[in-house]
Structure 1
Amino acid sequence: MALVLLPGLNNLIDDISEEKKLPAQVVETALREALLKGYERYRRTLYLGINENPFEEEYFSNFDVGLDLDEEGYRVLASKIIVDEVESEDHQIALSEVMQVAEDAQIGDTVVLDVTPEKEEFGRMAAATTKQVLAQKLRDQQRRMIQEEFADLEDPVLTARVIRFERQSVIMAVSSGLGRPEVEAELPRRDQLPNDNYRANATFKVFLKEVSETPRRGPQLFVSRSNAGLVVYLFENEVPEIQEGSVRIVAVAREANPPTRAVGPRTKVAVDSIEREVDPVGACIGARGSRIQQVVNELRGEKIDVIRWSADPVQYISNSLSPARVEVVRLVDPEGQHAHVLVPPDQLSLAIGREGQNVRLAARLTGWKIDIKNSQEYDQESEDSAVAELISQREEEESLQREAEERLAAEQAARAEEDARLRELYPLPEDDEENIEESTTELEELPISENEEAKQNEGLSNEQSPEDGPR
């Protein structure tokens, strides 16, 4: 068959490569795969209405498409095995036929034949299939490159631009670096900030939350405005002491989407200083609040509390409830990390916060269960009694959990022992193979002297001594 000409093939590949930001080799591979799918569709349409589809799933695995960029065309090639009697014309060819052009051909050899159909025979259905497959392959390659480009990104915070809206999600354009093309990322509803105004072409700092593979759409980028990592990044960029390492962020507790609109977004940040002369809280706030104000502006007015971390849980819990003034912190159950915090009556609502937000964030930040108590109404004896009951209940639950785990471990050990006993009585085929291999290995590892001694003993036992007489 003659070469099927595709006028302007080189220009087509260059245009697609530039438009999709893909290497020319990737475009060529996608085009070859698309043309091969088009050829499969052409072959299948020949049997429509005649009989059932005779082609299995891997039927065309020996076919390929060769692009000729110089002549600007393509050929469909089939690899066929030389046989005496042909059973499948698409996979085999008779030896007598091959020997007409190659006398040294032998059975079992493989030859590559041109099976390109005429351009007029290709058909509209096959052409449409080629076009669809090419578009799909190019999308797959784009997404694959996106996944590779963003999966190992060192800086997880990107500048994003709003381009459109889909249901409750915002579709944004992001770039992994200078000079790199923009790609689409999804900002789901749960990761948006209530104070953000997502209008077209508005820009935001976003945290690259996930690069995931979805069944239908392939690799997808998911970004977030509510992730605590965004707060860490903003402080690192605004506070030189954090970049230098003299100040470190120990923990972050963020509630970017409160349960109700009556409560605004709020974040608590615990910081510590490596050097004694450096005030970590002052460094993060800056002169007249200049540094923290930049972070607040980027987060559209989100309230941020910067507190000093302490290795002493009493001091750390007291600091975490800022701006409330704390009188006493009682660690009523250190093992269960449960604390009672006593505050004056006028500080009670401030310590708890609107709808419990302040104490909730303090508990997340410290990892302790915190109960706010009125210092004037606190009855230590009754409170200790109630805590003792809770401790007893917790210890009982832990004991039951340990017993359940021990019982499960014992059952698994007994089951494994029974399985081993049954395999000794009724070995599986693979067990026999393993035993044979082990026996062979042991024989190979037997010392040479012992082998020779065994052979000598065997020889002596088989020899007949003249003194013994006939047996």
Structure 2
Amino acid sequence: MAMVPLPGLAEMVEMISRERNLPRHVVTDALREALLKGYERYRKTIQRDVVFAEDHFRNFDVELDVEAGGFRVLATKAIVEQVQNPDHEISLYDVQQDYPEAEVGWEVTDDVTPQQAEFGRMAAIQTKQVLAQKLRDQQRRLIQEEFRDLEKTVLQARVLRTERQTVIMSVSSGFGQPEVEAELPKKEQLASDRYTPNAVMKVYLKKVYEGSRRGPQLLVSRADAGLVVNLFANEVPEIEEDIVRIVAVAREANPPSRNVGPRTKIAVDTVERDVDPVGACIGARGSRIQAVVAELRNEKIDVIRWSPDPATYIANALSPAKVVEVRLVDPEIQQAHVLVNSDQLSLAIGKEGQNVRLAARLTGWKIDIKEVESYRAALEEAQAQGLPYPFITPAALERFQRRAERAALGLEDEEYEEKRRLEEEELAGDDRLEEDWADEEEDFDYDAEFDIAQPKG
């Protein structure tokens, strides 16, 4: 059968490919899908009394000839003796007119292109409607494939516009690839940034959206702690070479109060004894850390040395405050009392509690800052009362008593917990027995003179 003509097809494919930054084969694939959808709609329009199954047209395809400027509709059909479903089957007799060697069970491709002029007009209209969506879907899939491996990395971004407090930016995966749009929501922005059109900055690719989501497919951030980690990795060769490693990071890019500026604490360690990990991150005369600070609009950054010893780690995390002593008062719930001199108290706590708050997030410990002299006085008073440390809560006291009992009995944790479970079950059994006796007593009257219980009734 003759092809359905599509005048200017080659020029249209070339134009769409160029304008949407899509490979030519992606455009033609989308066009084939759109034409097939147009054929399905045509069939459903002329056969309104027929209920088609959802996958009825699964064996149909479109043969597109870009150079000739036209297309045909083809269907793969099974050869049968007697046709029950003309869209999926073809008779052996009909096939053998052209292919005498054909047999039942074989499959053939049948040209089912409608010859009516109405189909050509309808296909052209419906194809335009479907093609735009198909191209968006293809573009979305390409973006997802291109950027999926770049999640959790830093990209160069350029501000395009602002839509309802969300900044729309353009980013590129590099290697000469075209730019695509990404969204920077309000909560991922920095208050110190100025998002004017064409402003250039580095962003953290937080997420590549999957599925058929409308709008930008990329979520980027300026406030995520991952941005700081990646910026240091780019500035410090020792991190890239795995000589220095970033163990933990705590960031408050947008503090709850306007009176407090953004701040980050980052804990680093090294596998080399002769390498100073903190010095490596700071760089000669602060050159490396200043590059990171400049990118983050002068955000305050504390680089501290990680330690496997919790007390040392906590003391380091409270930098720049000088710590006198760290007491791990309740390791079970990771609670520590940190003692500092009076002149270091406000520095350790930080403005509106920011320093201790970040230190707690960095280390994973609950940190209480105490002035050393007043704490030691409170400690003496607590120990005189048999308490392990001052300011103890009832729940903490119960844990302390259980640990003391376990140590006195010389039991392992599991043995001690099993003992407590059995004791609780025994106690619960005694309580039930007392309740049973009480119920039985209610069923008797007592003779006061002889103190003899008589059954009621």
TM-score of the two chains, using structure 1 as the length reference: 0.76
Deviation at 1:284, TM superposition (A): 2.8
Q: How does 1:264-279 map to 2 (within 5 A)?
A: 264-279=261-276
Q: CA deviation at 1:324?
A: 1.9
- Given that 1:34 and 1:130 are in contact with CA atoms closer than 8 Å, whether structure 2 keeps it comes out as yes
- 8 Å contact from structure 1 (residues 146, 219) kept in 2: no
State the Cα distance separating 1:175 from its structure 2 match.
Answer: 0.8
Please tell me whether the aligned partners of residues 214 and 220 of structure 1 are also in contact (alpha carbons under 8 angstroms): no
Counterpart of 1:157, as a letter, is: V
CA–CA separation in structure 1 for the residues paired with 2:270 and 2:61 = 65
After superposition, the C-alpha distances for 1:259-315 in whole angstroms (9 at most, x for unaligned) are 222221110122334445544333333344333222111101211112222333222
Q: CA deviation digits over 1:149-205, x for unaligned, max 9? A: 222238811101111223232221111113111111122222111111111111111
Q: CA deviation at 1:39?
A: 0.7
1:67 maps to what in 2?
A: 64
SS across alignment from 1:207: strand
State the match for 2:18 in structure 1. Answer: 18
- Farther off after superposition, 305-314 or 349-358: 305-314
Q: How much does 1:388 deviate?
A: 7.1
Partner of 1:236: 233
In structure 1, C-alpha distance between the alignment counterparts of 2:128 and 2:182, rounded to whole Å: 26
Partner of 2:45: 45
Paired with 2:306 and 2:103, the residues of 1 have a C-alpha distance of: 81
Q: Residue 391 of structure 1 aligns with which residue?
A: 396
Q: How does 1:399-410 map to 2 (within 5 A)?
A: none
* CA separation of 1:333 and 1:66: change in aligned 2, threshold 3 A: same
Cα 1:118–1:374 change in 2 (3 A) is same
- The range that moved more, 144-153 or 234-243, is 234-243
For 2:391 and 2:399, locate their aligned partners in 1 and report how far apart those are by CA, in whole Å.
Answer: 12
* 158, 164, 168: which one aligns with 1:167: 164
Does the CA-based 8 Å contact 2:152-2:207 persist in structure 1?
A: no
Distance 2:131 2:398 in 1: 65
What does residue 52 of structure 2 align with? Answer: 55
1:8 is aligned with what amino acid?
Answer: G
Label 1:252 to 1:39 Cα distance change in 2 as closer, same or farther (>3 A): same
Q: AA paired with 1:252?
A: V
Does residue 364 of structure 1 match 2:361? yes
Equivalent-residue separation in structure 1 for 2:327 and 2:59 (angstroms): 77
Q: What amino acid maps onto 1:34 in structure 2? A: A
SS in 2 for 1:213: coil
- Distance in 2 (CA, whole Å) between partners of 1:59 and 1:221 is 36
Identical-residue share of aligned pairs (%): 65
Give 2:436's aligned residue.
none
Residue 91 (structure 1) shift = 2.8
> Hey, what's the Cα distance between the residues in 2 that align with 1:274 and 1:304?
23
Which is worse superposed, 350-359 or 64-73? 64-73
After superposition, the Cα gap between the structure-2 partners of 1:314 and 1:38, relative to the gap in structure 1 and judged at 3 Å, is: same
Task: Quote the residue 2:222 is aligned against.
Answer: 225
Q: Distance in 1 between matches of 2:63 and 2:242?
A: 58
Alignment-mate amino acid for residue 41 of structure 1: R
* Paired amino acid for 2:28: E
Structure 1: which amino acid aligns with 2:223?
S
TM-score, normalised by the number of residues in structure 2: 0.78
Q: In the superposition, relative to structure 1, how do residues 113 and 297 fare at CA in structure 2: closer, same or farther (>3 Å)?
A: same
**Residues 82, 93 of structure 1: 8 Å contact kept:** yes
- Structure 2 alignment gaps of length 5 or more: 383-387, 403-412, 423-457
Amino acid at match of 1:363: A
**Match of residue 341 from structure 2:** 344
Query: How much does 1:102 deviate?
Result: 4.1
Cα distance in structure 1, aligned partners of 2:246 and 2:105: 69
Shifted more, 100-109 versus 36-45: the winner is 100-109
CA separation of 1:102/1:154 partners in 2, compared to 1, >3 Å: closer, same or farther?
Answer: closer
Aligned-pair CA distance for 1:338: 1.4
Equivalent residue, structure 1, for 2:451: none
1:367-406 CA-to-partner distances (Å, cap 9, x unmatched) read 211101122322114371543743344588x99xx89xx9
Pairwise CA RMSD of aligned residues? 3.0
- In the alignment, the residues of structure 2 paired with residue 280 and residue 107 of structure 1 have an alpha-carbon distance, to the nearest angstrom, of 76
SS in 1 for 2:209: strand
When residues 79 and 273 of structure 1 are mapped into structure 2, their CA distance, relative to the original with a 3 A threshold, is closer
Aligned twin of 1:312: 309
| Contact 2:21–2:178 (Cα < 8 Å) also in 1 | yes
Determine the C-alpha separation between the residues in 2 that align with 1:221 and 1:3: 41
Give 5+ residue unaligned stretches, structure 1: 408-471
Letter in 2 for 1:46: I
Matched letter for residue 194 of structure 1: A
| 1:296 aligns to 2:289 (yes or no) | no
Q: Is the 8 A contact 1:213 1:219 kept in 2?
A: no
* Residues 1:6 and 1:394: Cα distance change in structure 2 (over 3 Å): farther
